Amino acid sequence: MKSICFYFQVHQPFRYRRYRFFDIGNDHYYYDDYSNESILLKVAQSCYLPANQLMLELINKHKGKFKIAFSISGLALEQFELYAPEVLDSFKALAATGHVEFLSETYTHSLVSLKNKDLFRRQIQEHDLMIEKYFGQKPSVFRNTELIYSDEIGEIIANMGFKAILTEGARHILGWKSPNFLYVNAINPRLKVLMRNYKLSDDIAFRFSNKNWSEFPLKAEKFVGWMKSMVKDEFINLFIDYEVFGEYQRVESGIFDFMGHLPDVVFKHSDITFATPSEIVSNFQPVSLVSVPQPISWADEERDLSAWLGNEMQEEAFNNLYELSSRMDKVFDIDLRKDWNYLQSSDHFYYMCTKYFSSGEIHNHFNPYDSPYEAFINYMNVLSDFKLRLNALVPENEFELEIAGLNKLLNEKEAKLRKYESELKAIQTNTPVRRSVIPKSKTSPIKVSNKKH
Amino acid sequence: MKVLMFGWEFPPHISGGLGTACYGLTKGLSGFKDVSVIFVVPKAHGDEDQTSLKLLGANEVFVTRKQIQFPDIESKLEYYEVESGMIPYVDPEEYWKLSARDVTKKTPLVETTSDGKINFSGRYDGNLLHEIYNYSIVAEVIARENEFDVIHAHDWLTYPAGIAAKRVSGKPLVIHVHATDFDRSGGNVNPQVYAMEKEGMDAADQIITVSNLTRNMVIEKYLINPEKVTTVYNAVEPVSQEEKIRLRKGVDEKIVTFLGRITMQKGPEYFVEAANLVLKKMKNVRFVMAGSGDMMNAMIKRVAELKISDRFHFTGFLKGDDVFDMFKMSDVFVMPSVSEPFGIVPLEAMQSDVPVIISYQSGVSEILNYAIKIDYWDTHAMADAIYGLLNYPSLHTMFKKCGKEEVDNLQWKNSAAQVRDIYLKALKMYSGKSKLVL
């Protein structure tokens, strides 16, 4: 065993408010600002800020021998900027050490890789620009939403020039093979594939505070002991949600102490090093190719897509959403583009999942809905309103084109009418006409500048 | 193990879910070789076949005794009907109103003399509590003349009968709470009814409730020891395979249905308000309120007030095949009950492939996954769910597929097995007690 590769996923979606059907066409604001802000602030206090502080201390203390990687979704970055700029600053401080790698992903933490190659590429580019802007790095390693990966997705990523991609070391893919070696994409072997060691990752992420677990309590010494015993293995990929620190595993569980202590133990008792995904790629030779014909992810026992696209509701919502993508290409309206981005985050589909009925477990920590049906209906209501707005800008067919044209005409006439009415009123009340007309005419024309296509 | 069971009603003479539940439960129990049931019901209407009347003992109580053969099960059910004026689902005041209207019909009144004889006065004094008392007298007689191991009494009208049977036989009493007066009255409990319910629960060795909602009510409102209260959910009889469509929807529109008694307990007013919200947004939908009850006129008035009468229809009371037809025409079924101990109707709707919206305040919401659940008062959420089911097709497809599967797994044989376990528990407790006495 030579290296430990830590990678943390950071993501927060924009959650919707209860958007009832009678809001469709009437109210175009979809977001629950209160819960978005309060959740972000809560997680910032319990996780992002103290965890970043700890990571910074560890990097400084070990003079760069301790290193980590992050993938932060565009939506999370937007929320930091909106609600907690200090979190953004702490990530920037980490970036400034030079020992933190930022990975590429889709800007909106979307499932677009399963639907639309072109859009997939554009969302990656959008995200990379953002990472460069904030952290001064151009990502060279890619991590797809929830570690979703297939040979085909890998090929797209390879063609975009990335060196490597991260995914789950799913048992049904690897079989007898170990995730602790470097693999390559089955279609384009230039792309290296890093597989997550789910056993050791989940020991930290899920089992750490479980008192019924036979290895409880997990101490750094024990954990390092396990890794030391794996003499033939080359590296261990510990890929976990960043919220594990302080949210999923509370501070009282000792998760911060564990993490703070881990590098000390590693350096003291072994010759193991820490490496970022890029370093893994340059330090190790691939052992074989890995063939993943059907998409995998890091979710649940099945390690498939059923958490997001496993039932009829999810399929309908997903298909309805991406039906709009070709028309969205013609839209430059800032508000509509933002809403389009937020509609795509995978969380919305996750909330609609019904497969947890049997186990009865409540799955998502921050799920705002009581049931998957509520999640679905709410999403579809939002999408319906979004479609209406899109139709107004980019009509779906000739009929609607005509309607849009007529509507425009009608609006213009109504605006004129209002203008004349106010003029008339002005005349009737014998006040000077010119004064009231001049400012009015400035405001009265309705916006027609949206039609840019 | 022989069970002496006291009920209210039994098919085909039923007015609500209890008769259906009793039928399903006894049928489920008859699947066990070691369980047989003697079923006793009060007979409220004098239209039954009088030729099979048989006098039980020398006490002048008319009792109908017959045997019922379940179609697919070997064992038989012994069945008694006791002449009585008891009517299910009413409280004493309502009973007075009902009987005051019906003065021509003469129901014999049973009275006991001090030496234990029962006489008929021939006069009718319209006192439900009196009828219940009489029923308990008859229960005593039946209990003396039959061999059995356990007594099982369904709901408050039969608790005194159960207690009486326990008193004369010394056998354990299991009571089955299908509803409490808190459900029926919306909180304004009738003290007499409450007292009888409490007395029954106190006397019972084991209590079966139809949901945890009811269980909590029994524990909290009637101050019963939680250890003797167990929840056994109701189930549904599987529907027959043949699907005869007798009626077709006459309009190419969506139909949203409320089916149940139009009383405060069922929350009809919330359905009307939700309908109004939906109709503001879409036009190709109709709402149907099927059933009758004391709030029906108020609902008709409210619908007219909202000016949605052209889209909102009242059918009156439906029974038998009419219910089936109603479901066949429905696209969504809504049960906005304010307090529903169980609620079997949504299960019947699901059997007919109709997606259901139910209130969290219903016992059935504890066991259903493929149903949209809302708070009864949240008309916005109710309207949103209706709109969603009518406009987003995948919901409908999924509910049809998975809902049917879910409801088919709710079988009376499973509920009956749990009831049987409770009998055994009661017997065990009892034998322990009697040993102590000896």
Strand B229-231 to strand B356-359: parallel, antiparallel, or no bridges (unpaired)?
unpaired
Contact yes or no for A377 and B380 at CB 8 A: no
CA-closest candidate to residue A100, choices A128, A73, A64, A67: A67
Cβ pairs bridging A and B (under 8 Å):
63
Nearest CA in chain A to B278: A22
Contact yes or no for A21 and B372 at CB 8 A: no
Using the Cβ of B273 and the Cβ atoms of chain A, whether some distance falls under 8 Å is answered with no
Neighboring chain A residues of B395 at a CB cutoff of 8 Å: 312-313, 373, 376-377
Q: Please indicate whether residue A8 or residue B84 has the higher confidence score (pLDDT).
A: A8
Neighboring chain B residues of A354 at a CB cutoff of 8 Å: 369, 398, 402
pLDDT tens profile B314-365: 998 887 788 888 998 999 999 999 999 999 899 999 998 999 999 999 999 9
Using the Cβ of B395 and the Cβ atoms of chain A, whether some distance falls under 8 Å is answered with yes
Spatial contact of A182 and A234, defined as CB atoms under 8 Å apart: yes
- Please, what is the Cα angle at A175 between A170 and A181, to 5 degrees? 75
Q: How far does the CA of residue B97 sit from the closest CA of chain A (Å)?
A: 44
d(CA A88, CA A101): 15
pLDDT value for B14: 61
Spatial contact of A376 and A318, defined as CB atoms under 8 Å apart: no
Q: Please indicate whether residue B241 or residue A384 has the higher confidence score (pLDDT).
A: A384
ipTM of the complex: 0.78
pLDDT value for B214: 95
Which residues of A form the catalytic set?
Answer: 146
Residue A284's Cβ-count burial label (10 Å; 0-12, 13-18, 19+) is middle
Helix-helix angle A433-443:A398-428, to 10 degrees:
160
Residues 6+ apart with CB under 8 A from B153: B5, B6, B159, B161, B162, B173, B174, B175, B176, B200
Spatial contact of B125 and B150, defined as CB atoms under 8 Å apart: no
pLDDT value for B67: 55
Q: Which of B384, B393, B398 is opposite residue A377, by nearest beta carbon?
A: B384
- Please, what is the Cα angle at A419 between A416 and A423, to 5 degrees? 140
Out of A69-78, A279-288, B189-198, B376-385, which region has the weakest mean confidence (pLDDT)? B189-198
Supply A180's token pair: 């602790």
Using the Cβ of B283 and the Cβ atoms of chain A, whether some distance falls under 8 Å is answered with no
> How many CB atoms sit inside 10 A of residue A41's CB?
15
Nearest CA in chain B to A380: B392
Question: Does residue B47 surpass a pLDDT of 50?
Answer: no
Spatial contact of B120 and B32, defined as CB atoms under 8 Å apart: no
Using the Cβ of B385 and the Cβ atoms of chain A, whether some distance falls under 8 Å is answered with yes
Token pair 């699901």 is at which residue? B350
CA-closest candidate to residue A238, choices A246, A247, A226: A226
Using the Cβ of B277 and the Cβ atoms of chain A, whether some distance falls under 8 Å is answered with yes
Q: How far does the CA of residue A101 sit from the closest CA of chain B (Å)?
A: 42
pLDDT value for A444: 45
Neighboring chain B residues of A22 at a CB cutoff of 8 Å: 277, 280-281, 383
- Please, what is the Cα angle at A229 between A228 and A235, to 5 degrees? 60
Mutating which of A17, A377, A387 best tests the B interface, going by the most B Cβ atoms within 10 A?
Answer: A377
pLDDT tens profile B282-293: 989 999 999 988
Question: Does residue A273 surpass a pLDDT of 60?
Answer: yes
Region A297-317 average pLDDT: 92
Region A339-368 average pLDDT: 81
pTM, rounded to two decimals: 0.82
- Please, what is the Cα angle at B64 between B62 and B69, to 5 degrees? 170
Nearest CA in chain A to B369: A357
Region A88-116 average pLDDT: 96
pLDDT value for A443: 45
Q: How far does the CA of residue B300 sit from the closest CA of chain A (Å)?
A: 25
Contact yes or no for B373 and A371 at CB 8 A: yes
Q: Which of B381, B383, B398 is opposite residue A311, by nearest beta carbon?
A: B398
pLDDT value for A339: 96
Contact yes or no for B398 and A370 at CB 8 A: no
Contact yes or no for A313 and B388 at CB 8 A: no
Spatial contact of B382 and B334, defined as CB atoms under 8 Å apart: yes
Neighboring chain A residues of B277 at a CB cutoff of 8 Å: 22
Spatial contact of A348 and A378, defined as CB atoms under 8 Å apart: no
pLDDT value for A322: 96
Q: Which residues of A touch B (CB under 8 A)?
A: 18, 20-22, 24, 311-313, 315-317, 354, 357, 370-371, 373-374, 376-378, 380-381, 384
Neighboring chain A residues of B393 at a CB cutoff of 8 Å: 316
Strand segments, DSSP code E, in A169-251 are 182-185, 192-196, 235-241
Contact yes or no for A354 and B392 at CB 8 A: no
Helix-helix angle A372-393:A398-428, to 10 degrees:
70
Three-state SS at A331: coil
Using the Cβ of B397 and the Cβ atoms of chain A, whether some distance falls under 8 Å is answered with yes
Nearest CA in chain B to A356: B369
Contact yes or no for A381 and B397 at CB 8 A: no
Q: Which of A20, A373, A384 is opposite residue B395, by nearest beta carbon?
A: A373
Contact yes or no for A316 and B392 at CB 8 A: yes
pLDDT value for B436: 40
Question: Does residue A350 surpass a pLDDT of 50?
Answer: yes
Nearest CA in chain B to A315: B394
Spatial contact of B62 and B83, defined as CB atoms under 8 Å apart: yes
Nearest CA in chain B to A311: B398
Share of chain A above pLDDT 90, in %: 78
Mean pLDDT estimate for chain A: 90
pLDDT value for B135: 79
Nearest CA in chain A to B279: A22
Neighboring chain A residues of B283 at a CB cutoff of 8 Å: none
Neighboring chain B residues of A384 at a CB cutoff of 8 Å: 391
Q: How far does the CA of residue A41 sit from the closest CA of chain B (Å)?
A: 29
pLDDT value for B12: 64
Q: How far does the CA of residue B256 sit from the closest CA of chain A (Å)?
A: 17
Q: How far does the CA of residue A446 sit from the closest CA of chain B (Å)?
A: 26
Would the CA dihedral through A35, A41, A46, A48 be positive or negative?
A: positive
pLDDT value for B242: 56
- Give phi and psi for B420, each to the nearest 5: -60, -40
Cα torsion through A328, A334, A336, A340, rounded to 10: 70
- Please, what is the Cα angle at B49 between B44 and B54, to 5 degrees? 90
Out of A18-22, A351-355, B245-249, B292-296, which region has the weakest mean confidence (pLDDT)? B245-249
CA-closest candidate to residue B256, choices B355, B350, B189, B190: B355
Contact yes or no for A20 and B385 at CB 8 A: no
